């Protein structure tokens, strides 16, 4: 492992994961000076730099220790890991990041009355994920010809170069536009933070630990909010029963109002209008919900 004193994170240069990845890193307190070629961005606050690359190159860059971490789809990571497992290129998914959700699926022409994977036997299936597809086909016990394409997989059936495809599906718009139907899901994917199996042992390891803690705070808080309300003491039990599941209430006395309490509760997920109305009916007043910006456990 080559020694560096700054952590290097690779993200997709331009694509669906670029903006959310940058936004997430920013929320973790990482900001970058934009360089002219936009390939390497120097981190301004923390000793963390950014590499902007093609998403498919990210696992390889981590395996070669060119960078320490990468934000990449689980699909890309899984394909790499499976294809290169024999060479000992072990990567690890440090965290699932909750954006860029999609599925790696088999899609067949809409005109096919699909009843099961056995119907794929003898077909040619186009994909950019040959190793994941092979593994799935082996599990199903069916023999097909896998046609590996770098991109534009969805047009292969129309061009006659394949009968079906195995590709990423997010909204389904690409499949619909190509008269294909999604029939089997091989992998549920989302953006993940990937890294080498063994974390760096120098200062970069400390920075990684710090980043993971911040990430956990950001991920946990993404949907969290803080609920405040005032309640008569005798309505407290009823109100606590109406709080969202898992909400942790803290109570404060109110000066000059011995029969009243102030309640604060951290809620994971949003608090709906309906819920607030129920809480109000149970006796609460002066209720408000505020977003939580940072949290350190």
Candidate residues 57, 154, 163, 184; the one interacting with ligand PRP per rule CB under 6 A: 154
Is 167 one of the binding residues for ligand PRP (CB under 6 A)? Answer: yes
Q: Which window, 35-43, 130-138, 162-170, 205-213, contacts ligand PRP (CB under 6 A)? A: 162-170
Of residues 252-271, which lie at the interface with ligand PRP (CB under 6 A)? none
Is 14 one of the binding residues for ligand PRP (CB under 6 A)? Answer: no
Question: For residues 99 and 228, which CB has a smaller minimum distance to ligand PRP in the complex?
Answer: 99
- Minimum distance from residue 161 beta carbon to Zn ion (Å): 20
Question: For residues 50 and 58, which CB has a smaller minimum distance to Zn ion in the complex?
Answer: 58
Query: Pick from ligand PRP, Zn ion, none: which does 168 bind, CB < 5 to 8 A by kind?
Result: ligand PRP
- Minimum distance from residue 178 beta carbon to ligand PRP (Å): 9
Query: Pick from ligand PRP, Zn ion, none: which does 154 bind, CB < 5 to 8 A by kind?
Result: ligand PRP
Query: Pick from ligand PRP, Zn ion, none: which does 171 bind, CB < 5 to 8 A by kind?
Result: ligand PRP
Q: Which window, 83-91, 163-171, 196-204, 250-258, contacts ligand PRP (CB under 6 A)? A: 163-171
Question: For residues 93 and 182, which CB has a smaller minimum distance to ligand PRP in the complex?
Answer: 182
Neighbours of 282 (CB within 10 A): 18
- Measured CA to CA, the distance from residue 68 to residue 295 in angstroms comes to 25
- Minimum distance from residue 165 beta carbon to ligand PRP (Å): 9
Is 92 one of the binding residues for ligand PRP (CB under 6 A)? Answer: no
Is 174 one of the binding residues for ligand PRP (CB under 6 A)? Answer: yes
Query: Pick from Zn ion, ligand PRP, none: which does 184 bind, CB < 5 to 8 A by kind?
Result: none
Question: For residues 52 and 229, which CB has a smaller minimum distance to ligand PRP in the complex?
Answer: 52
Candidate residues 13, 16, 27, 242; the one interacting with ligand PRP per rule CB under 6 A: 16
Asked whether 42 and 34 are in contact (CB, 8 A), the reply is no
- Minimum distance from residue 110 beta carbon to ligand PRP (Å): 15
Q: What is the 3-state secondary structure (H, E, C) of the chain?
A: CCCCCCEEEEEECCCCCHHHHHHHHHHCCCCEECCCCCCEEEECCCCEEEEEECHHHHHHHHHCCCCCEEEEEHHHHHHHHHHHHHHCCCEEEEEECCCCCEEEEEEEECCCCCCCHHHHCCCEEEECCHHHHHHHHHHHCCCCEEEECCCCHHHHHHHCCCCEEEEEECCCHHHHHCCEEEEEEEEEECEEEEEECCCCCCHHHHHHHHHHHHHHHHHHHCCCEEEEEEEEHHHHHHHHHHCCCCCEEEEEECCCCCCEEEEEEEECCCCCHHHHHHHHHCCCEEEEEEECCCCCC
List residues bridging with 70 in a β-sheet.
10, 194
Contact set with ligand PRP (CB under 6 A): 15-16, 151, 154, 167-174
């Amino acid at each position: 492992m080559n020694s560096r004193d700054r952590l290097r994170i690779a993200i997709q240069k331009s694509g669906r994961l670029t903006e959310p990845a940058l936004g997430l890193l920013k929320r973790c307190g990482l900001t970058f000076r934009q360089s002219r070629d936009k390939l390497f961005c120097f981190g301004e606050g923390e000793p963390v730099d950014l590499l902007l690359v093609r998403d498919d190159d990210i696992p390889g860059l981590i395996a070669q220790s060119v960078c320490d971490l990468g934000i990449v789809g689980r699909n890309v990571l899984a394909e790499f890991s499976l294809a290169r497992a024999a060479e000992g290129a072990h990567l690890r998914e440090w965290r699932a990041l909750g954006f860029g959700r999609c599925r790696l699926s088999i899609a067949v022409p809409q005109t096919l009355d699909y009843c099961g994977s056995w119907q794929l036997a003898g077909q040619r299936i186009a994909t950019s994920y040959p190793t994941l597809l092979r593994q799935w086909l082996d599990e199903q016990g069916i023999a097909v010809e896998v046609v590996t394409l770098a991109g534009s997989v969805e047009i292969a059936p129309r061009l006659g170069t394949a009968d079906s495809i195995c590709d990423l599906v997010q909204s389904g718009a690409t499949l619909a536009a190509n008269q294909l139907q999604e029939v089997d899901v091989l992998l549920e994917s989302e953006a993940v933070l990937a890294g080498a199996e063994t974390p760096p042992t120098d200062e970069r390891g400390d920075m990684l630990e710090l980043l993971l803690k911040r990430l956990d705070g950001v991920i946990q808080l993404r949907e969290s909010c803080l609920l405040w309300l005032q309640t008569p003491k005798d309505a407290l039990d009823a109100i606590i029963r109406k709080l969202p599941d898992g909400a942790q209430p803290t109570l404060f006395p109110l000066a000059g109002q011995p029969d009243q309490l102030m309640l604060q509760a951290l809620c994971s997920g949003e608090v709906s209008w309906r819920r607030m109305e129920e809480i109000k009916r149970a006796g609460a007043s002066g209720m408000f919900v505020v977003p939580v910006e940072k949290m350190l456990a």
